[in-house]
Structure 1
Amino acid sequence: MLTALRQILHRFKRDDDGAVLVEMTLVTPFVLLLSAGVFEFGNILNTRMLLDAGVKDAARYMARCSSDWNTCSGYATNLAVNGAITGGSARVTGWTTGQISITPAVSTPAIDPATGTELYLSSTANVVVVEVSTSYPYAGVGLWSYLGFGQLTLTVAHRERVFGW
């Protein structure tokens, strides 16, 4: 009986017909997880870039708007979210104008007092800037939460020197 068992094991050791199937069975879950991670990270990065573009557009608009604050901020929030002052289509699904925060013009030193770095080119000691920011809860395709990382919130802000008003 021991001899028969040795013959079976020896024959099994030489036979490699199913080796590729076993290797693919072991490797496939890791490759799929890695691919899904790459796609999810790409989606997060794309969403972040769209949010950044919207916030920058809104800050530039606010910096150059010559109307009153309420009119300009309404147009700027719509510009950030929809890519147009009125109408337009959403840049990011689920991003609303209520998630945009526009901080009124603030007098900011043109030169950083701590480091002496010139922040804004100006003939005066202070410049007026407007800041537009947003926080967006990223929903994604679910891999991020499936891996146990919890809710991801993308936060973007941009400051622009005011030329209008």
Structure 2
Amino acid sequence: MFITLRQFIRRFHGDEQGAAMVEMALVTPFVLLLSAGVFEFSNILNTRLLLEAGVEDGARYMARCNDSTWANCVLNGTNLAVSGSITGGSARVPNWTTPQVAVNVSHTLAVDAATGTELYLSSGANVDVVTVSTSVPYNGIGLWGYLGFGTLNITASHQERVFGW
């Protein structure tokens, strides 16, 4: 039996036909997984950048808003953050809605009391700062969920000193 097996193996010893096909069969799954990972990471990064641009736009608008009521400024600012326009428009990120945008206004010291560092240039001791933040669950290409990593929440936040009111 060993003699027959040895003769069978010797027959293929110098034969290189099909070697490239075997190498491709071994490498192809890894290349496809790497490519899918690059696409997924790029999509996550693009989503994060769109969220950051949205909250920056919303915070800048609200910081300079001169509307008579703060509620109108918040409504317009959150619409601007999500859709890129004050009224209408489509969401920058799929499934991103205005209730997912949080707006907070704080009365902050212009100078840090502990270090003496000037945080905001102001003629008074205090300034108003508007913070716009959001957290959106990532619904991407699918590799993230397929690999079993669970839900990924992408967050973004931006602060602006209030000049308008």
How far 1:121 moved relative to its partner? Answer: 2.2
Secondary structure of 1:45 counterpart: helix
Q: Residues 11-160 of structure 1: matches in 2 within 5 Å?
A: 11-67=11-67, 68-104=69-105, 106-160=106-160
How far 1:142 moved relative to its partner? Answer: 1.0
**AA paired with 1:156?**
A
Distance 2:111 2:145 in 1: 43
Return closer, same or farther for 1:101/1:24 CA change in 2, 3 Å cut-off. same
Distance 1:112 1:33 in 2: 50
Aligned pairs, how many?
164
Distance 2:70 2:155 in 1: 24
Secondary structure of 2:123 counterpart: coil
Distance 2:88 2:135 in 1: 22
- Larger mean CA deviation between 4-13 and 89-98 belongs to 4-13
Secondary structure of 2:119 counterpart: coil
Alignment TM-score, normalising by the size of structure 1: 0.93
CA displacement 1:91-120 (0-9 Å, x = unmatched): 11110011111113x111223334443322
Distance 1:124 1:71 in 2: 27
Alignment TM-score, normalising by the size of structure 2: 0.93
Find runs of 4+ consecutive structure 1 residues off by over 4 angstroms.
Answer: 1-4
How far 1:18 moved relative to its partner? Answer: 1.3
Note the residue ranges of structure 1 that are not aligned, 5 or more in a row. none
* Cα RMSD (Å): 1.5
Distance 1:163 1:29 in 2: 56
**AA paired with 1:103?**
N
Distance 2:33 2:2 in 1: 44
Identity across matched positions, percent: 66
